[in-house]
Amino acid sequence: MNKTINLLGKHGASGAKRSMTLAGVGLLSLICAAGIPTASSASPNRNPENKTASASPRFKLPFANGRVTSHFHQGRWHPGIDLAAPMGTPIAATTSGQKVTFAGRRGGYGNAVITRDSSGRTHLYGHLQRITVRSGQTLNQGQKLGTVGSTGYSTGPHLHYEVSNVAGTRVNPAPLLFPQSATVARPRG
Full pLDDT tens readout for the chain, 189 residues: 434 343 333 333 333 333 333 333 344 443 333 333 333 333 333 333 433 333 456 889 999 888 888 878 766 678 989 999 999 999 999 999 999 999 999 999 999 999 999 999 999 999 999 999 999 999 999 999 999 999 999 999 999 999 999 999 999 998 888 776 544 444 334
* pLDDT of amino acid 54: 33
> pTM for the full model?
0.67
* pLDDT of amino acid 98: 97
* pLDDT of amino acid 40: 35
**Contacts from 8-13 at CB under 8 Å and sequence distance 24+?**
8/46, 8/180, 8/181, 8/182, 8/183, 9/46, 9/180
Contact 122, 169 (CB under 8 A): no
Query: From CA 116, how far away is CA 139, in angstroms rounded?
Result: 10
* pLDDT of amino acid 177: 84
* pLDDT of amino acid 76: 66
DSSP secondary structure code for residue 145 in this structure: E
Number of other CB atoms surrounding residue 154 within 10 Å: 16
* pLDDT of amino acid 186: 43
DSSP secondary structure code for residue 73 in this structure: B
Number of other CB atoms surrounding residue 5 within 10 Å: 20
Domain spans of the chain, in order of start: 2-185
* pLDDT of amino acid 178: 74
Range 2-185 has CATH code 2.70.70.10: yes
* pLDDT of amino acid 180: 63
